[in-house]
Structure 1
Amino acid sequence: MERPTDVRVEGIVLRTMAYREADVIATLYTRERGKIGVIAYGARKLRSRAKSAVQPFQSGTYILRPSGSLYRFVQAETVGAAALWGDVERMAQASVVAEWIVRGEEEGRPDEALYRLVRWALDRLLAGDEAETVVRTFELLYLRKAGFGPEWGRCVRCGRAAALTDFSPAEGGVVCRACRNAVPDARPVPSPLLAFVGRLLAVPPGRLGRVTLRPPQRQALSRLLDAFIERHVALDLLSRRIMAGREDLAAAAAALRERRLKRRGAGLGGEGPTAEAPAEASPADSDFAMGR
């Protein structure tokens, strides 16, 4: 039964852990109170009404009772996250979003814009959008909001906003054509990717909808963000390392399949399969929509 001292919050379950024999301690990120800890007594019991409400990435309206350093779960109206629970890839990508907040944000500090960003990322994953694109977009916007994201609009060496051609993880952003030879780790950036990032950063908070990137641009963004985060972000996120390991395994498996196909083709007297040269990227390689 709800009491006058109970609080009602809109929140998202980011992490859970078993406690004692039948209880669960969950980390929620809420619109009204920021990151908080919630204990749900008996939530691991088969018939518990709290069981589904404190599953990872569940979201909705929660009624909580202050109880020392934690809140006690009372009841909830949730919208469900079953589409994530049945998809290992999406669960893994959602875990990256969750760990940024769990590790990067202090408890009890509400941030409406950040809550909307987390909500957007999980909603798009639930909607079936391309998972890596969603999470990379989240990371790009989260780093910018936190104040230590890469510089995308001006050369980090001379400040020019024109002829931006490369990205330097060490320098922390884009480099122009005139300066790139002076930057040892400068690496080319596809112009459609720069255009995509520029449009993305101009979207008002809360107005972002579906985001799409073609594979070459998505892979380029992933490589640049990985290099930047490794160089400048102190947080060592386990979920990101797991995803990197999965990508390395996938690349190794693809290379092995390619070698086997070539050997098979050579054994039959042919030249084996050849890869077509990638087409030059165009601005149509990326797109996003405002609104939901």
Structure 2
Amino acid sequence: MADFDIHILGCGSALPTTRRQNASQIIDLRDKLYMIDCGEGTQLQMRRMRIRFSRLNHIFITHLHGDHCFGLPGLLSTLGMLGRQGELVIHGPKEIETYLQPILDLFCKNMGYPVRFNLIDPYQQTLVMEDRSLQVYSIPLKHRIPCCGYLFAEKPKEAHIIREMIDFYQVPVRMIKDIKQGADYITPDGTVVLNSRLTRPSATPKRYAYCSDTAYAPEIIPFIEGVDLLYHEATFCESDLARSKETYHSTARQAAEIARLAQVKRLIIGHFSARYNDLTPFLDEARQVFTEVSLAEEGMVLSL
């Protein structure tokens, strides 16, 4: 079972090519799947990577440019044909409902599952979704149309019981849950056994930030500071800096500068323009600023 894995389904930009697919990722957090963006070809990539459609319950859309959402109609239809029954929640700017509702009305009238839209304000950092394992926050980005990234913050896990100490103090089974959540144990004679004697700390919760599409925007740094992994778009190299400014995208060097300022642990760059065949210059530029950086590739699985 995956603990916290990120599957890269697509890391290209506006034009799908034979080299790179449009933007999409899957987060697998202990067998619960969360999708970020859904460009063309997303469901085919899920097939190739043997990702189970049935475990997907939330889709997070950054903005309404086609390379981030044109895969949704086909995916929704496929889920219906596979016999899905549980609710699917699509999170994104208000335009996502305007785009998808006519498609649902025309092509998906008899689907066996409900689609719910959670419309968010892309200009604010807000808690978008929360379940037992995870909190997801929006990250306001700087693009030509309303756009937001997402921060996936794992919730703290319960402490690990030290079985030998539990047996030594003869702790009743009914107390185990409270002790895992931080309670001390009081013996029948009134002795307080500190929680630290009964448990070991769980692993530190992980955080993953997804920032695409955006111009260079240092204002996002407080939202992503210290994350375990940052995915930041790098559509262009510095040689095309003027084009990046015109289209509200970032260069590899700018993505690395954001990572350096935010003191993130690792950086992965993607959303590469179709004009580039060789991505080596992206990596070279980024590493001049931030050393812990990798290039996104289709089929890549990153574990936190």
Tell me the TM-score range normalised by the shorter chain. under 0.3
Per the normalisation by structure 2, the TM-score is: 0.24
Bigger relative CO (Cα 8 Å, ≥ 6 apart)? 2
Give the TM-score normalised by structure 1: 0.24
More helix per residue: 1
